[in-house]
Structure 1
Amino acid sequence: MFENTLELAENKLLLLYIFKKIKFPISNNQITEVILENDFINYFTLQQYLNELLSSNFIKQIDSQSNHKFIITKKGIKVLSLFGNRISKDKIDILDSYIDEHFNDIKSKISVNANYTTKHKNSFMVNLKISESNSTLMNLKLNVDSKKTAQKLCEKWEKNFSEIYYKIVELLMED
């Protein structure tokens, strides 16, 4: 029984690790694909673990129109930082390799847009957007006072959208 408890804890930590590593919300189908392709957990147990992580507030479900996605919470990050060393090195290596290899596939389903328009002589409207299929995950509109700032915001968004998105969501979820 003690061994089953350790395996259960490791599997939940493994799920938290995946959410933290990917850094942007992913669908149930995407997390299921990662887990099943690496033969870590069976489908039904995975769904049970996801529900338990949700009810414990270690992950949060984000709804954007009819699309449900999961993202790790601060509480989940804290638990992972405290107990993440209980995940076997072999599983971490397998996951790191898998995510590195498939990250672009996961990310490709997401459309990233960054542009700006001139409002007045010294006023620029920057539009930063992330979409998946026909669903908007985030749309930020910022008014800035220089073309250089507008260009820099667009460049940074295109290069680091997942980290920026993750940080914004994390800040908004703080108590």
Structure 2
Amino acid sequence: MYESSSELAENKLLMLYVLKSIKNPISNTQLTEIILENNFINYFTFQQYLSELEESKFVEYHDVNDKKLLILTEKGDNVLSLFKDRISPSKMSTINDYIKEKIESIKKELTIHSDYTLGANDSFIVNLKAVENDSLLMELKLSVPSKNQATSICAKWKENPSEIYTNIISLLIN
């Protein structure tokens, strides 16, 4: 039922390794997805470890563009470099392969934002945002009459933000 202390240490180091390998702040959800999709740790144990890593100041949350994102602290990086050899090479290889495959979608999730809220007169306010290197490229708020339109706009924005951005800019410039 309980893990050995070496397994516990390896799992926490693995979490730190993921944060270092991605080289960008990521959301709790994204880190959870990486760990769970690779069947390293169960959800509840993962959240407990993450909380312990935060208490130890090995990771911390930063507010970036209205999102709480996790970063590896200098203290966490130092611990990782001292004990990295305790992570099994097969797990490190699995993480490296996963990140290579998914890095673009992870970055896209962090740079593209879309949501909607209920506005006045039963309308919906759609908020679309594109961020690159911590700089706001575009933020667009619009009112639409139905929830279907709001969800459709959000989905299209997430699906192809660069084309939509380019079209909007060219419409405004030309």
Cα gap change, 1:30/1:2 in structure 2, threshold over 3 Å: closer, same or farther? closer
TM-score under structure 2 normalisation?
0.63
Distance in 1, Cα, partners of 2:88 & 2:13: 10
Partner residue in 2 for 1:159: none
Q: Once superposed, which parts of structure 1, at least 4 consecutive aligned residues long, lie more than 4 Å away? A: none
How much is the aligned-residue C-alpha RMSD, in angstroms? 2.2
Which one has the largest radius of gyration?
2
- Amino acid in the other structure paired with 1:52: E
Structure 2 Cα separation of the partners of residues 83 and 66 of structure 1 = 34
2:91 maps to: 91
2:9 equivalent in structure 1 = 9
The separation in 2 between residues aligned to 1:85 and 1:16, in whole angstroms, is 13
User: TM (normalized to structure 1)?
Assistant: 0.63
My pick for the range that moved more, 66-75 or 27-36, is 66-75
Partner of 1:19: 19
Contact 2:16 2:76 in 1 (8 A): yes
In structure 1, stretches of 5+ residues that fail to align are 112-131, 141-175
The change in CA–CA distance for 1:46 and 1:135 in structure 2 (over 3 A counts) is farther
Aligned residues with identical type, % of pairs = 50
The question of whether the paired residues in 2 share the 8 Å contact of 1:67 and 1:135 is answered with no
> How much has 1:64 moved relative to structure 2?
3.1
Kindly indicate whether structure 1 or structure 2 has the higher relative contact order, using CA contacts under 8 Å at least 6 residues apart: 1
CA shift at 1:2, angstroms?
10
Q: Select 1:138's aligned residue among 125, 134, 141.
A: 134
Contact 2:26/2:110 (8 A) holds in 1: no
